[in-house]
Structure 1
Amino acid sequence: MTNMNHFENTILKIGIIVKDIEIPHWQYYIIEEINKSHFATISNLIISSGTNDFSPKFTFIDNIFKNIFEKIESNRQLGEDDSQKIKKLEIDPSLKITNINSASSTSKIKDENLDLIINLSSEKLSDLSNASKYGLWSIHHGPNPYELNQPLGFWEILKCQNVTNSLLLFYYPPGRCQIIDKSYVRTNILSPKRTQNLIYWKTCSLILNNLKIFYILGPSRFEQLSNHNVEFSNEIKINFPHFKDYYEVISIMKKRHSRAKSISKNLEQWILLYNFGNSLSTEFHKFKEIRPPEDRFWADPFVLFRDNTYFVFFEEFIYGDKGNISYLTIDENEVISEPKRILEESYHMSYPYIFEYDNSIFMIPETHSNKTIDLYECIEFPSKWKFKKNLIKDIDAVDSTPLFFDNKWWIFTSVKTNPYLENWDDLFLFYSDDILSDNFISHPINPVVSDIQKSRSAGKIFFSQNKILRPSQNSSISYGGSISLNEINVLTPDDFKEKKIKSFLPWSEKIVGIHTINHTNKLSIIDAKYLKSC
């Protein structure tokens, strides 16, 4: 799973800007991971001056509500996952340390012949873009690079925004700036502190992934992003809340906490629903339910049509146990059989992607608990299957979705690369000439999508009116909350682009999620998270 790289055998020399040698855990993690990588090393630690041009002006009543809010948030215990826990850097004697405290600082940094400078401090130091060979990267939290909303995650609750985002900005001379990447996490509606924790850990992946892409494809990959140009400026507007804002957010958090407690008194159960029609049906209110027994849920339905019968393969999860693969049948008279378990391992299995190839029937179920992407072959349809091979090993991947396109096999899968993040945030792409290959190649711009609203797969990729359409999960409100439909515009070994074109939402108060959709012959089938009182 390796790629050719632009810099051949050269290791990138990186300068990192921080405020002090005692830094938040997320910054410590970035520095640690860069130094452990095979493509970059930190050769200069740049200590910023620590000065800020902004300071909030609070009234007496502002401070009262600010203190109430901070007391509520101080009770959020994050443990070892706390991205803002302070850690002290262990300084290698060979590491050059430069303090930004005079006009001569830039020339001193230039003398180090750095390839790239990465600014982890909150200061806007874009004037250092000419102090390295390939400019300066800087992180900005929020949708607008000229506006900073503090505290992070607070305004998203106030404005009912389901996602909180980060921008990776690329400053380079002469006076240019571009947004080279974006990343989105779910806003925690009960706690800005927990949103901050997510966004800081996601920032780690944003920087580390793009540094790897920079190494493989070179600086031209980013310099060509002309449609993401932003005006080069050190000016930024800072938005701080006042007492009315604190009061409203505290009220919202209280109401949502009460609602979350009431929902927890109900049982959420994934069920299957289907409808017949000549094309993919999305009139979900017309679908008929297939309910599992009370002690389990059924989800992730995939269909194969044979002998005038629809064979529906799905995850069956008995509460307190693990997932396994079962199937049931639906005939053209809508007679539904009893389910039968067909595939079970010592670890969790789900998302049974089934497909035909070379006169055989294969399945790629989710096996992330085994840290593999596995292929199974049917030896007696539909009930007998055997393990064929590991397609990819040592990977924490969910909902792997293959596609044969342009004489290549592509696997779309969501991969966990950061121990502090979930495995549904980022979509990775692997490709090979043969589905039975031992060498699936990691796409050079992985992750190809980093967006909680549309990363994780939600069913088979299909063709419609000469378009490639990829269903994906939108988990910005809750896990499996709704489905996005994305049109893939570019799919090559060097590039990937897609555009969201449609959303499929829950259609009643009792349905609070939908995360798989498939269509075969005349059958459309989905799963849905059904809410019912205990």
Structure 2
Amino acid sequence: MRIGLLLERDVVPYWASMAVERIRASEHADIALLILDHGPPDRERSSSRGSPLYRVHAWYDRARHGNGQDPTLDVGIPPGLERVSRMRLGRREGAPRSLAEGDMSAIKGQDLDVILDIGGVTPIRDLSECSRYGTLSFHPCDGRCYDGRYAGFWEAVDRVPVTGSHVIRVKDGVATVVYRSFSHTITWSEKRNREQVYHKGISFLPRMVEALYQRGEAAIASEERVPLVGEAAPSRPAPGNRDILRYVARLASMNARNIASSITSEEQIAVRYRLGDGIPESFDGFTTLIPPKHLWWADPIVTRQDDDFYIFIEELALPRSRNLGHISVIKVDAEGRYQAPVPVLQRPYHLSYPFVFQHDGRHYMVPESSGARTIELYEAVEFPYRWEHVMDLMKNVHAHDTTLIRRDGRWWMFTNIMENPGAPVDDELFIFHSRDLLSEEWTPHPLNPVVTDVRTARPAGPFCERGGFLYRPSQDCSVCYGYAVNINRVVELSERSYRESLSNRIEPGHFENTTRVHTFSHMKGFTAVDTFFMRSRLRPGR
């Protein structure tokens, strides 16, 4: 594919530079033209510096949370583009928002498939007529309530659960949204909230180019029309002094409550289970296992051997920041009586989410091992207490909560992946498939990521079946990590497509004294969940 890059000047922000590098590394994309636009900026889109208090707030936010690469800082044009043809745009006399006809003809003569706009000042209506698929541009906002001015700020001020981002296509003067994503809103830092969106957005334009190559027009077909950039009224004004005072007061109040709460109580996780064949309709009658105060139990995954059930968990000595998790198992007999957890798998890096399953009469486990940047497969050589490493299903990948299912003679791997450093880990679900479980060659799904929404992406436990339908538990991490569990019905799963729809939700209100519901594991005869609760520091106990 022949790609044109639309630049505002001779530098680009870091996120755009990384996106261009990824496109250049592709085997099917050729950056054929750099279009430099030094024309008048769009005054409606240009951002003022905000009020004096906003500038002080922004300075403090940068100083307080300045670690890591800022994806919005300008860097040079990526190396390797020095030999790419360049042209500078002109404007029609008396019409500064219209391109000179000679420039339009010259661009059309390049036979471009698509133009990627990373400048933001060019009259896109004209330029969208100059390539086969028009123009594509990334926007760090939801494009509805928030328009990207002061990206990340108003979402944090309003304390909305999610911060959106999207890609707009403009073709023949018509703008449509062709890609959407949602992240958890970081309410305590505008800078962090903005940067996570840009870090994730590094992948968006390369994905769209890949999709265009693979599927053509169908990859970007959309009926969600939006106003052209520069033609919509601002959704919010520039932040004023009162906005900053209100925001800072709210942060101070929140911090005071958190400090007071941390003195008197701490958040812990309980593992709960109940015998019974069906997927629970209610959550009464669960046996609750509360760990000792110095331990953390999480991620219960259930399997069965003979008449006994086994709950595999992540076990971690507190404080969590100083220790590594390992895998332990809780044995539960047919009467519901349980035994204390026994450690079964430890590594020199953190382990969690012990996805255990059976195949050909053998027990296997795929624990989360993102600290080693692997997806590892283990086999029980003496179930359930001794496990040996079989192979790495994937390497050099930052994957979380990998969940497998065998369907139609094929293994399907569902896993959350963080593609770019600084991006959120809870937002994007990827699918891979293979006919052989013991394979290092897993084929990525063409729609990856199949879910890009913090409210429904991250796996929350094994698949389960009811009434002939397949259900995928997932986490809702919008309010906070592991806030609730969604039960999603899988509508379609194939090598070319994936669709799911929300069937049910398990929220904290389903359980007494519960702040979050994190994992759901069901098999015939048994269900286990883990729930967060507040535990008093002042009350004596284990």
| TM-score, normalised with respect to structure 1 | 0.89
* CA deviation after TM superposition for structure 1 residue 293, in Å: 2.3
Question: Would you say the 8 A contact 1:275–1:281 is kept in 2?
Answer: no
* CA deviation after TM superposition for structure 1 residue 285, in Å: 6.4
Structure-2 residue corresponding to 1:39: 28
* CA deviation after TM superposition for structure 1 residue 299, in Å: 0.9
* CA deviation after TM superposition for structure 1 residue 412, in Å: 0.3
Query: Which one of 228, 231, 236 corresponds to residue 232 of structure 2?
Result: 236
Query: Which one of 6, 13, 36 corresponds to residue 2 of structure 2?
Result: 13
Change in 2 beyond 3 A, CA 1:434/1:93: closer
**Pairing of 1:207-226 with structure 2 (within 5 A):** 207-223=205-221, 225-226=222-223
Amino acid at match of 1:237: A
- Listed one character per residue, the Cα deviations across residues 305-341 of structure 1 (whole Å, up to 9, x for unaligned) are 3333221111112233312111111224332102111
Q: Which runs of 5+ in 2 are unaligned?
A: 92-99, 538-542
Q: Distance in 2 between matches of 1:464 and 1:176?
A: 44
Change in 2 beyond 3 A, CA 1:206/1:500: farther
Question: Would you say the 8 A contact 1:154–1:249 is kept in 2?
Answer: no
- Listed one character per residue, the Cα deviations across residues 494-525 of structure 1 (whole Å, up to 9, x for unaligned) are 11122233332223795333221012233221
Question: Would you say the 8 A contact 1:189–1:256 is kept in 2?
Answer: no
Structure-1 residue corresponding to 2:374: 372
Amino acid at match of 1:526: V
Structure-2 residue corresponding to 1:148: 147
Question: Would you say the 8 A contact 1:312–1:328 is kept in 2?
Answer: yes
Change in 2 beyond 3 A, CA 1:232/1:68: closer
**Pairing of 1:55-454 with structure 2 (within 5 A):** 63-89=51-77, 92-102=81-91, 103=100, 104-123=102-121, 125-144=124-143, 148=147, 150-173=149-172, 175-223=173-221, 225-226=222-223, 228-230=224-226, 235-238=231-234, 239-240=236-237, 241-265=239-263, 266-281=265-280, 283-284=282-283, 286-319=285-318, 320-454=322-456
Amino acid at match of 1:425: D
Change in 2 beyond 3 A, CA 1:469/1:38: same
Question: Would you say the 8 A contact 1:146–1:235 is kept in 2?
Answer: no
Question: Would you say the 8 A contact 1:414–1:426 is kept in 2?
Answer: yes
Change in 2 beyond 3 A, CA 1:31/1:198: same
Q: Distance in 1 between matches of 2:145 and 2:256?
A: 36
Change in 2 beyond 3 A, CA 1:242/1:194: same
Structure-2 residue corresponding to 1:464: 466
Q: Which secondary structure does the structure 2 equivalent of 1:79 belong to?
A: coil
Q: Distance in 2 between matches of 1:87 and 1:509?
A: 52
Matched, 1:530 2:533: yes
* CA deviation after TM superposition for structure 1 residue 232, in Å: 6.4
- Listed one character per residue, the Cα deviations across residues 69-96 of structure 1 (whole Å, up to 9, x for unaligned) are 4344343332332112232225643122
Q: What fraction of aligned residue pairs are identical, expressed as a percent?
A: 27
How much is the aligned-residue C-alpha RMSD, in angstroms? Answer: 2.7
Q: Distance in 1 between matches of 2:47 and 2:429?
A: 42
Change in 2 beyond 3 A, CA 1:78/1:29: farther
Change in 2 beyond 3 A, CA 1:345/1:476: same
Q: Which secondary structure does the structure 2 equivalent of 1:237 belong to?
A: coil
Change in 2 beyond 3 A, CA 1:47/1:261: farther
Q: Which secondary structure does the structure 2 equivalent of 1:130 belong to?
A: coil
Amino acid at match of 2:387: W
Change in 2 beyond 3 A, CA 1:38/1:259: farther
Q: Distance in 2 between matches of 1:21 and 1:76?
A: 30
Q: Distance in 1 between matches of 2:305 and 2:401?
A: 24
Question: Would you say the 8 A contact 2:21–2:78 is kept in 1?
Answer: no
Q: Distance in 2 between matches of 1:52 and 1:205?
A: 26
- Listed one character per residue, the Cα deviations across residues 348-391 of structure 1 (whole Å, up to 9, x for unaligned) are 22211111222222222222223222222222222222222222
- Listed one character per residue, the Cα deviations across residues 161-192 of structure 1 (whole Å, up to 9, x for unaligned) are 1111111112223x443322111111111122
Change in 2 beyond 3 A, CA 1:90/1:490: closer
* CA deviation after TM superposition for structure 1 residue 145, in Å: 5.7
Q: Which secondary structure does the structure 2 equivalent of 1:121 belong to?
A: coil
Q: Distance in 2 between matches of 1:65 and 1:446?
A: 42
Amino acid at match of 2:217: P
Change in 2 beyond 3 A, CA 1:126/1:193: farther
Q: Distance in 1 between matches of 2:46 and 2:199?
A: 26
Change in 2 beyond 3 A, CA 1:17/1:263: farther
Q: Distance in 1 between matches of 2:230 and 2:145?
A: 9
Structure-2 residue corresponding to 1:53: 43
Amino acid at match of 1:478: C
Amino acid at match of 1:222: I
Amino acid at match of 2:152: G
* Length, aligned pairs only: 518
Q: Which runs of 5+ in 1 are unaligned?
A: 1-11
* CA deviation after TM superposition for structure 1 residue 481, in Å: 2.1
Instruction: Judge which range, 137-146 or 490-499, deviates more.
Output: 137-146
Instruction: Judge which range, 141-150 or 404-413, deviates more.
Output: 141-150
Q: Distance in 1 between matches of 2:4 and 2:55?
A: 37
Question: Would you say the 8 A contact 1:480–1:514 is kept in 2?
Answer: yes
Change in 2 beyond 3 A, CA 1:152/1:261: farther
Amino acid at match of 2:12: I
Amino acid at match of 1:86: D
Question: Would you say the 8 A contact 1:296–1:318 is kept in 2?
Answer: yes
Q: Which secondary structure does the structure 2 equivalent of 1:80 belong to?
A: coil
Q: Which secondary structure does the structure 1 equivalent of 2:496 belong to?
A: coil
Structure-2 residue corresponding to 1:6: none
Q: Which secondary structure does the structure 2 equivalent of 1:498 belong to?
A: strand
Q: Which secondary structure does the structure 2 equivalent of 1:73 belong to?
A: helix
Change in 2 beyond 3 A, CA 1:190/1:147: closer
* CA deviation after TM superposition for structure 1 residue 231, in Å: 6.4
Instruction: Judge which range, 229-238 or 104-113, deviates more.
Output: 229-238
Change in 2 beyond 3 A, CA 1:291/1:230: same
Question: Would you say the 8 A contact 2:156–2:193 is kept in 1?
Answer: no
Amino acid at match of 1:23: V
Change in 2 beyond 3 A, CA 1:396/1:130: same
* CA deviation after TM superposition for structure 1 residue 160, in Å: 2.9
* CA deviation after TM superposition for structure 1 residue 403, in Å: 1.2
Q: Distance in 1 between matches of 2:63 and 2:452?
A: 30
Query: Which one of 502, 505, 508 corresponds to residue 506 of structure 1?
Result: 508
| TM-score, normalised with respect to structure 2 | 0.88
Change in 2 beyond 3 A, CA 1:276/1:150: same
Q: Which secondary structure does the structure 2 equivalent of 1:516 belong to?
A: strand
Amino acid at match of 1:38: E
Q: Which secondary structure does the structure 1 equivalent of 2:111 belong to?
A: coil
Change in 2 beyond 3 A, CA 1:501/1:253: farther
Question: Would you say the 8 A contact 1:177–1:231 is kept in 2?
Answer: yes
Question: Would you say the 8 A contact 1:510–1:532 is kept in 2?
Answer: no
Question: Would you say the 8 A contact 2:199–2:421 is kept in 1?
Answer: no
- Listed one character per residue, the Cα deviations across residues 460-482 of structure 1 (whole Å, up to 9, x for unaligned) are 11222232211111222222222
